[in-house]
Amino acid sequence: MTKSLSRVATATAIAAVLACAPAVRAQTDKPWLDPSLDAGVRAGLAVKAMTEDEKLTLVFGYFSTDAPWKKFTRPEGSLPDAAGFVPGIARLGIPAQSQTDAGVGVATQRSAHPRERTALPSGIATAATWSPERAFDGGAMIGNEARLSGFNVMLAGGVNLLREPRNGRNFEYAGEDPWLAGVVVGNEVRGIQSNHVISTMKHYAFNDQSTSQSELDSQIGDADARMSDLLAFQFVNEIGHPGSVMCSYNIVHGRHSCENAWLLDEVLKTDWGYKGYVMSDWGATHSTVESANAGLDQDSGYPFDDKPYFGAPLKQAIAAGKVPQSRLDDMARRILTSMFAVGLFENPLKGDQSASIDYGKNEAIAQADAEEAIVLLKNDGLLPLAKTAKTLAVIGAHADVGVLSGGGSSQVYPHGGSAAPNEGPDNFPGPMVWFPSSPLKGIARRSSATVTFASGKDIHAAADLAARSDIVIVFASQWTAEGMDVPYLNLPNGQDALIAAVAKANPKTVVVLETGGPVVMPWLNDVGAVVEAWFPGSNGGEAIARVLTGEVNPSGHLPATFPASLDQLPRPVLDGDNHGPRGKLYTVNYGIEGAAVGYKWFDKKGLKPLFPFGYGLSYTRFEAGGLTAQPSGKALSASFTVKNAGDRDGKAVAQVYVSPASDAGWEAPKRLGGWVKLDLRPGESRAATVAVDPRLLAVYDAVSKTWRIKAGDYQVMLANSAADIVQTQTVHLDAQTLDVTGK
Ligand code: GLC
């Protein structure tokens, strides 16, 4: 019904415009260029003027990097060593689509001359800030660098839930909770698009591990899907309005995502009313007729696919009546609707303007993000570093020269090249890139102590240095990357042993982790402090130094549970096999946990993690209280106050969880209902109110396609983390039935 109405509305609007066309046409023979018209109307007008071949031009994208091994040269007009390119249509004034990766900044495909641009901290780091403002600012910054680099489409917006802590791409995403991930990535997308650059949400959907990803069939029930991964995408779509969606490599219930009518046509376009376009991941298209008819709108990154599926094959399929002409028209309309809506026509690219990028300003934005992302996990008083310390040992992870970044298509390259070159694999997803922002130099500039570095390669030398130092700061890194999962959650390359040896030599040891996601810490009881710095971006070393020396009070909170061991996971053994026989299919049963992802699984199973979701310490002390909860609209809101009871500024993340007092058919005992991050001076109290989205109080019913809140009492919990509830109130809610969009 919704679809037919919107078509009628659009057709009526087009007729109205054409009826008064003489006046408009007098202005131009291209009425679609009138910016006063609605984007959908403009797209309809343009499609009516297009030839079949022009429509086919729009729906077929090329890799924007030479691929000699495939005898492929990037298209005329495309930018070198970039992600993708779709030619424009000069006759109609339609600009080319110049596509860049991705979530932390303007990436470059592996190249001898990479673009050197600003890198945000990793996506999971920005999620650890619990700050929509940092997410927006970061998106706005990288979107600006993309535009000034000559790109008008940014393939950012990764929001796959962290179901699998070993997933090599967790660093690109935003953790395990649909609401936190949806708000953070939705604001990043909003930031990117504020530059008139189309952003993407990806990888739609359930591409939650890399092992055998193209042969892996993700199994999950409709309701569980809608209350977990799809809910995160739904929130991103509502908050960020991404111009495009990237369907993923994996299979979902037997159909590859890019030819999966349930995902593309039913959920995204019909149920959620999505008006933008679906592009494939690079090499994720597997058919012409099935993918076109299932809702794919743009076949990306040729020659990644084994053959072109759109273009000539699509033209033949339409001529043969296998794909309706209306489907091609809809593809073109969707692409143009997003291009009009995001402002690509009125804000044409002006080629390479990267000389005008204000890197100082942009690095400060990245640093502010990193500083709020750092999570203080343990502190026996060692932090901030004592100014009385006379000798500091800094050990490991190239802390003398830089900080680590994640690998793969999202790789941003720093000015001047990697601080520790020639590391990591020679081919994709390498190289391993270290950003030249030295934690050691940052610490030394802020300390009167003698600071000595040891690489950590020689454990004995490191332990000797530790033994003769007042305080030890040992850095440990875990490189994660696209296309590969980590086999376990331990730190690699013997770093657990290094930390144990250093801590044994000197218990005044601080551990700084630079990881892609959760890791286990067998040495935790032997060290005095631990911070998780993630992949901290262009100025990450400065951010780490400012936190360790106390210039910045850490305010990060975990966006994902840190398990105590793999045995606690729904699937202790990873499914799939990257070395298995070609074409063999695998299944991953996400139905085991269903929507109970992360802390919800731990709650449901009564498991104690190493560190819980939402956990993070501060150099000051916060007191949250005064909780009241009341029905609000179709859901509820919670009000409370937070006080900074300590002696220094700090940012608190007050979390609100919700739970039915009696069985309401939820997937787990509680859900994150909302949060607020408050910057408080010593002694300052602030009142806050959090409104909970009704879908977070409901169960999705797949038959009626409604969200249902069961009448009854609900507990509202004010908390410092998923495992630290400060205060609980009970509120009665009447039964509610919401439509598929939560209204
Ligand atoms: C990659 C990634 C995707 C990226 C695209 C273009 O394989 O899966 O995230 O945007 O191809 O590089």
Choose which residue among 62, 155, 248 to substitute to test ligand 1 binding: the one with the highest number of ligand atoms within 8 A of its C-beta: 155
User: What's the confidence (pLDDT) of residue 496?
Assistant: 98
Q: Alpha-carbon distance 250 to 213, whole Å? A: 5
Beta-ladder partners of 100: 154
Please report which confidence band the pLDDT of residue 24 belongs to, taking 50, 70 and 90 as the band edges. Answer: very low
Residue 146 lies in a domain: no
User: What's the confidence (pLDDT) of residue 13?
Assistant: 53
Choose which residue among 64, 86, 101, 216 to substitute to test ligand 1 binding: the one with the highest number of ligand atoms within 8 A of its C-beta: 101
Whether residue 493 is found in the same domain as residue 554: yes
Distance 425 CA to ligand 1 centre (A): 18
Q: Considering 538, 566, 594, which residue would you say is the last residue of a domain?
A: 566
Q: Considering 350, 383, 406, which residue would you say is the last residue of a domain?
A: 350
Please report which confidence band the pLDDT of residue 72 belongs to, taking 50, 70 and 90 as the band edges. Answer: very high
Residue 100 lies in a domain: no
Per-residue pLDDT tens digits for 28-48? 799 999 999 999 999 999 999
Residue 451 lies in a domain: yes
Whether residue 407 is found in the same domain as residue 486: yes
φ/ψ of 391, rounded to 5, equals: -135, 130
Within 6 Å (CB) of ligand 1, which residues are found? 83, 101-102, 155, 202, 281-282, 409
Distance 108 CA to ligand 1 centre (A): 12
Distance 589 CA to ligand 1 centre (A): 24
Answer whether 600's CB lies under 8 Å from 589's CB: no
User: What's the confidence (pLDDT) of residue 25?
Assistant: 42
When pLDDT is averaged across residues 202-223 and rounded to a whole number, the result is 97
When pLDDT is averaged across residues 567-595 and rounded to a whole number, the result is 96
User: What's the confidence (pLDDT) of residue 457?
Assistant: 98
Q: Alpha-carbon distance 234 to 215, whole Å? A: 26
What is the SS3 assignment for 595? coil
Please report which confidence band the pLDDT of residue 11 belongs to, taking 50, 70 and 90 as the band edges. Answer: low
Distance 101 CA to ligand 1 centre (A): 7
Q: Alpha-carbon distance 332 to 364, whole Å? A: 39
**pLDDT surpasses 60 at 566:** yes
Closest atom, ligand 1, to C-alpha of 249: 8
Whether residue 448 is found in the same domain as residue 300: no
Whether residue 283 is found in the same domain as residue 397: no
Residue 243 lies in a domain: no
User: What's the confidence (pLDDT) of residue 423?
Assistant: 95
Domain region containing 321: 1-95+273-350
Total of domains in the chain: 3
Residues comprising the chain, all counted: 743
Residue 668 lies in a domain: yes
Contacts 24+ apart (CB under 8 A), 484-487: 484/168, 484/210, 484/211, 484/429, 484/578, 485/164, 485/166, 485/167, 485/168, 485/209, 485/210, 485/211, 485/574, 486/166, 486/168, 486/516, 487/166, 487/574
Whether residue 725 is found in the same domain as residue 631: yes
Per-residue pLDDT tens digits for 695-730? 999 999 999 999 999 999 999 999 999 999 999 999
pTM here is 0.96
Answer whether 300's CB lies under 8 Å from 279's CB: yes
| Percent of residues, the chain, with pLDDT higher than 70 | 96
- Which residues, at least 6 apart from 293, have a Cβ–Cβ distance to it below 8 Å? 261, 323, 327
Choose which residue among 246, 409, 410, 484 to substitute to test ligand 1 binding: the one with the highest number of ligand atoms within 8 A of its C-beta: 409
Per-residue pLDDT tens digits for 614-638? 999 999 999 999 999 999 999 999 9
Whether residue 286 is found in the same domain as residue 414: no
**pLDDT surpasses 80 at 3:** no
**pLDDT surpasses 80 at 411:** yes
Whether residue 339 is found in the same domain as residue 371: no
| Percent of residues, the chain, with pLDDT higher than 90 | 94
Per-residue pLDDT tens digits for 119-129? 999 999 999 99
User: What's the confidence (pLDDT) of residue 397?
Assistant: 98
Whether residue 460 is found in the same domain as residue 551: yes
Q: Considering 293, 315, 350, which residue would you say is the last residue of a domain?
A: 350
Q: Alpha-carbon distance 730 to 638, whole Å? A: 11
Residue 507 lies in a domain: yes
Q: Atom 11 of ligand 1 has which residue's CA nearest to it? A: 282
Whether residue 386 is found in the same domain as residue 323: no
User: What's the confidence (pLDDT) of residue 545?
Assistant: 98
Distance 166 CA to ligand 1 centre (A): 19
Residue 23 lies in a domain: yes
Whether residue 480 is found in the same domain as residue 532: yes
Please report which confidence band the pLDDT of residue 16 belongs to, taking 50, 70 and 90 as the band edges. Answer: low
Strands of 602-723 (E only): list them.
622-632, 635-644, 650-660, 671-680, 685-692, 699-701, 706-709, 712-721
Distance 62 CA to ligand 1 centre (A): 13
Whether residue 403 is found in the same domain as residue 546: yes
User: What's the confidence (pLDDT) of residue 667?
Assistant: 98
List, as one string, the DSSP characters of 85-147: EE--BGGGTBPPEEEE--TTS----S-SS--B---PPPHHHHHHTT-HHHHHHHHHHHHHHHH
Per-residue pLDDT tens digits for 258-267? 999 999 999 9
Q: Alpha-carbon distance 422 to 609, whole Å? A: 36
User: What's the confidence (pLDDT) of residue 28?
Assistant: 74
Residue 265 lies in a domain: no
Closest atom, ligand 1, to C-alpha of 172: 9
Whether residue 379 is found in the same domain as residue 487: yes
- Which residues, at least 6 apart from 531, have a Cβ–Cβ distance to it below 8 Å? 374, 375, 376, 377, 383, 510, 511, 512, 513, 544, 547, 548, 554
Q: What's the CATH number where 633 sits?
A: 2.60.40.10
**pLDDT surpasses 90 at 528:** yes
Closest atom, ligand 1, to C-alpha of 301: 6
Q: Atom 4 of ligand 1 has which residue's CA nearest to it? A: 409
Distance 47 CA to ligand 1 centre (A): 28
Choose which residue among 282, 302, 411, 427 to substitute to test ligand 1 binding: the one with the highest number of ligand atoms within 8 A of its C-beta: 282
93: left (phi over 0), alpha (psi -120 to 50) or beta: left
User: What's the confidence (pLDDT) of residue 416?
Assistant: 87
Distance 409 CA to ligand 1 centre (A): 6
